[in-house]
Structure 1
Amino acid sequence: MVPSSNEATASRPWARALAFLVALALALPLGWWLPLPALAAVDVAKQVLIGADYHGQDLRGGTFNLTNLRDADLSGSDLQGASLFGAKLQDADLSNTNLRETTLDSAVFNGTDLTNAVLEDAFAFNTKFSDVIIDGADFTNVPLRGDALKALCAVARGTNPVTGRQTRDTLGCS
């Protein structure tokens, strides 16, 4: 006599547990155990974010176009590939920030702290720099207007701790 499937399952408790797990797995939506998609990049274009605290955050690819970030703390943040076109960054803290490949065109850096920031391959041709702190900043491959370059070379000093490059050398100061 051949045992029925119920008798076979009853004689093997692990088989019952396995059958339950298979049934449970088939009942759940397929995406339940798949990794969640990456969160979309932050988009705060044209916002007034005076004194905002973004320090140490992953802001890669974010959009801050025409945003007022006066007195904002972006220190230690990763802004690689972000767009800060026309952003107002007066007295903002961007020290130790990754600004690689960012769009900084037409942004206003007045009293901004860029200590040890990495701006490699950023676009900043029409950016206004005045009274900035750039000790240890890396400006490798950043296009700058002549007047901005002259102002930055006047205060450039230090070596970037991430890239090992001297600020004056990355600006091409003589």
Structure 2
Amino acid sequence: MALTMRRASVARPAVSSRSRTVTVQASAAKHLGAGAAAVALAATLSLAGPALADLNAYEAATGGEFGIGSAMQYGEADIQGKDFSNQDLRRSNFTSADCRNATFKGSNLQGAYFIKAVTFRTNFEDANLSDVLMDRATMVEANLKNAILQRAVFTRSDLKDAVIEGADFTNALLDKTQVMALCKYAGGVNPVTGVDTRKSLGCGGQRKYKASYPSNPDGPQVQEDEKEAFRKTLPTYRN
């Protein structure tokens, strides 16, 4: 008798009508087969509609990843010919995006992701591409005139016939064969950093070439002010 009374005294958790609906739909789908399961799933997802709408509205108001309004998402997007001129796009994601003939002239793209992106004839003139990950990207005939490319990663990328007059490649990572190809016509001085393009690429003799990469302990090292500039681009989480 005592055991029975104790069980009766335990309060059962409240079950909302929505939870009952979802449970009934899931149970019905289990017995009615795949076709009914699809119908039940659609009905279940419809119940979450208002909640998802509220979440999307919140994310849109937030303006970017980790609360950084500049971190836009264009991964695998088709943005051919789009105009992104003079925008703050730091740490934005363009991974595997089709950026052919798009324009990023004068934009701040520091720390952005262009991994495997197609940037054929894309205009990056006067853009800040410092710390950009652009490995395995197709950059054929891209316009990098006067662009800042410090510490950018271009490993296994194709920069054939890219315009690099006045571009600053200081401490950037490029394949040796790519550097040799660019050095055949590299020239100019970056108007912002004052760095000679050929010098930033390490064009010249073999000894000078070997000493021009940060991976070489005898080569140039990243300065403290450059490290601090990179730290300032790191996410700031909301309190």
Query: TM-score interval w.r.t. the shorter chain?
Result: 0.7 to 0.9
Q: Which is helix-richer, 1 or 2?
A: 2
| 1:169 to 2:199 alignment | yes
* CA apart distance, 1:124: 1.1
1:94 to 109, 112, 124: 124
- 5 Å-filtered alignment, 1:21-32, equals none
Contact 2:114/2:134 (CA < 8 Å) preserved in 1?
yes
Aligned-pair Cα RMSD in Å = 1.3
Note if contact 2:70-2:88 (Cα within 8 Å) is conserved in structure 1.
no
Runs of 5+ unmatched residues, structure 1: 1-35
**Which of the residues 147, 151, 154 maps onto 1:121?**
151
CA distance 1:62–1:38, shift in 2 (3 Å):
closer
| Structure with more contact order per residue of length (Cα contacts < 8 Å, sep ≥ 6) | 1
Give the number of aligned pairs.
Answer: 139
Partner of 1:156: 186
Question: Is the Cα contact below 8 Å between 2:70 and 2:89 reproduced in 1?
Answer: no
* Identical positions, percent: 36
- Give 1:38 shift: 4.2
Deviation at 1:40, TM superposition (A): 5.5
Partner SS for 2:139: strand
Partner of 1:39: 69
Question: Residue 155 of structure 1 aligns to which amino acid in structure 2?
Answer: Y
User: Residue 199 of structure 2 aligns to a residue in which SS?
Assistant: helix
> Aligned partner of 2:89: which letter?
L
Question: Within 2, Cα distance between the matches of 1:161 and 1:40?
Answer: 25
Q: What is the TM-score when the length of structure 1 is the normalising length?
A: 0.77
Structure 2 residues without counterparts, runs of 5 or longer: 1-62, 205-239
Q: Equivalents in 2 of 1:141, 1:38: separation in Å?
A: 26
Identify the residue that residue 65 of structure 1 maps to in structure 2. 95
- 1:53 CA drift (Å): 0.5
Deviation, 1:134, is 0.3
How big is each residue's C-alpha offset from its partner over 1:113-140, in whole Å with a ceiling of 9 and x where there is no partner?
Answer: 1000000011111111111110000000
